[in-house]
Structure 1
Amino acid sequence: MAERSIDREKIIAELSHEILDTSQVSDILGNSKDFPMTLIENLSIETALKYWNEQLSYEAADYVMNNLYSFWVNNEYFLQTYPFTDVAWECFQAFDAGEYYRANEDKGVSPDIKYTRPLIEDFLRKRMLIV
């Protein structure tokens, strides 16, 4: 299936509610035989933008990125043959950073606000998607 014909909004919605198994994510992404790098990058950027613009909660965006990452890492062929692109990796790490409080950290500020938001801001600024 060509990337341009895929409804990224629908994909993000389907990936944003829970952790899915690899076959479910594969179905949602169109069951490509090759790793859909461009699609993964576009979904990563769109997820970051939606989170930044408060159109997607931290939890929903984190589900999207965790599902995309697990889709790659749990498929031995993809893992050995294709990279998880820098764009997707940077976005994944930004959401991963907000998943937990650090030791001896003030619990008054949510980790997603303290860690993820600044990383996503930097991610989007570097790509000139926000000013």
Structure 2
Amino acid sequence: MTKMCDFLETFLMQVSGALAEVRIADSDIRKWAGFMANWEFYNSTALRIAQKYQDRELSYEVCDRLMNDLWSGVLTGLGESNATELPEPFYGIYEAFDAGEYHRKTDISDDPIADFTDPMIFELLRRHRL
């Protein structure tokens, strides 16, 4: 578990100063998780991303991009394994960031990050006592 928890910290240190361009490749996931369907890796990494977002250590844009990259890895993992269920809480955190990607009002006067992402992340972290 420690190796997986270290992934995000190490990855972010490697790309410090370039967070706007940071991407997680499948090769990064394989290196740290061992295999693409390692749900424990996705869950622990997603919880760390959510906590860093809530603590304002990472921006919404960076977290959303990281979660989208990890989602691609989950889809690869589903294809390589016999898994039939998505990892939780990973998927809930992915959905929380996804909810901030689009406006619901046609005049875009709403704030989907404040209205959806922030409360969803707060609740998910509360449930997981982080």
TM over 0.5: yes
Residue 81 (str. 1) matches residue 83 (str. 2): yes
CA contact (8 A) 2:99 2:117 kept: yes
State the distance in 2 between where 1:91 and 1:127 align. 12
Q: Which runs of 4+ in 1 moved over 4 A?
A: 16-20
The amino acid of 1:77's aligned partner reads: E
- Aligned residue for 1:55, secondary structure, equals coil
Q: Structure 1 residue 4 and structure 2 residue 6: aligned? A: no
Whole-angstrom CA distance in 2 between matches of 1:17 and 1:82: 34
Amino-acid identity (%):
25
Task: Map residues 7-86 of structure 1 onto 2, 5 A cutoff.
Answer: 7-8=6-7, 9-11=9-11, 17-18=20-21, 25-29=25-29, 30=31, 32-33=34-35, 35-75=37-77, 76-78=79-81, 80-81=82-83, 83-86=85-88
Question: Tell me, which stretches of 5 or more residues in structure 2 are unaligned?
Answer: none
Q: Report the TM-score, using the length of structure 2 for normalisation.
A: 0.77
Count of residue pairs brought into register by the alignment = 121
Distance 2:41 2:20 in 1: 19
Contact kept, 8 Å, 2:102 with 2:112, in 1: the verdict is yes
Per the alignment, do residues 35 and 122 of structure 1 end up closer, same or farther by CA in structure 2, a change over 3 Å counting?
same
Q: What do residues 17-63 of structure 1 show as CA deviations (whole Å, max 9, x unaligned)?
A: 4585xxx6221121723522111111100000000000000000001
TM-score by length of 1: 0.77
